[in-house]
A and B are shown apart, each in its own frame.
Chain A
Amino acid sequence: DGGITQSPKYLFRKEGQNVTLSCEQNLNHDAMYWYRQDPGQGLRLIYYSQIVNDFQKGDIAEGYSVSREKKESFPLTVTSAQKNPTAFYLCASSIQGPYGYTFGSGTRLTVV
């Protein structure tokens, strides 16, 4: 079945470490997105990519980095510059145009 796979489901990060969250899709979607969800805050956009080898910053890109070397993959790195990384991270994909988004099951990142 086609879908989006996020891994790992849970991730623990020590202070000062970089960690990378994986997002893979087999839907042949052109665009991919990363959102962060905090309690009571709703979803906020971190980065998005509409085509391979190109990506744009969202509303809260500081302290994060991404790459889009393959159409199927859009990994997110949470760097040590992100001071409050504890959150639920959601990846999504869509076809270009007025079409709906498909979401992965999320990664919960906790700083220890």
Chain B
Amino acid sequence: KQEVTQIPAALSVPEGENLVLNCSFTDSAIYNLQWFRQDPGKGLTSLLLIQSSQREQTSGRLNASLDKSSGRSTLYIAASQPGDSATYLCAVPSGNTPLVFGKGTRLSVIA
């Protein structure tokens, strides 16, 4: 059964710092990986979707990489801002079943 782990569980950084969030998964037979952002009490907003054939995907200050063989993905946030404060979740499909989620990394960017 697919298991997804996100490290660290929480992170606090000063504004302007570059940071990396980590995601690992146990079953490498995935066809994509999706990163989401969740603000308190809100739904999930999709940030990046990486197909299994891709190594990385970029959107603005966000860059996500995927190493399927080692079961790892990273989300890189450049020049962090207070508005980036949120919980970041990664999720992978497990075979033909729906997305399996990590527990998330709660990010605080201090002005």
Q: Give the nearest-CB partner of A58 in chain B.
A: B98
Is the pair B98, A103 in contact by a Cβ cutoff of 8 Å?
no
Complex interface: chain B residues within 8 A of A43 (CB):
89, 91, 101
Given A100-B49, A101-B99, A108-B41, decide whether A42 and B32 contact each other with a Cβ distance below 8 A: no
Some 18 contacts from A to B, beta carbons below 8 A apart, are: A42-B89, A42-B101, A42-B102, A42-B103, A43-B91, A43-B101, A48-B98, A88-B41, A92-B44, A98-B52, A98-B93, A100-B34, A100-B49, A103-B36, A103-B43, A104-B43, A105-B42, A108-B41
Q: Looking at chain B's contact residues, is the secondary structure mostly helix, strand, loop, or mixed?
A: strand
Interface residues on B, range: 20 to 34
Q: Is B28 an interface residue (CB 8 A)?
A: no
Q: Give the nearest-CB partner of A101 in chain B.
A: B99
Interface residues on A, range: 20 to 34
**Total residue contacts A-B, CB cutoff 8 A:** 55
Complex interface: chain B residues within 8 A of A104 (CB):
43
Q: Looking at chain A's contact residues, is the secondary structure mostly helix, strand, loop, or mixed?
A: strand
Q: Is A21 an interface residue (CB 8 A)?
A: no
Q: Give the nearest-CB partner of B53 in chain A.
A: A98
Q: Give the nearest-CB partner of A88 in chain B.
A: B41
Beyond contacts A41-B103, A45-B100: 9 other A-B pairs, Cβ-Cβ < 8 A, are A42-B89, A42-B101, A42-B103, A43-B89, A45-B97, A48-B98, A98-B93, A100-B46, A103-B45
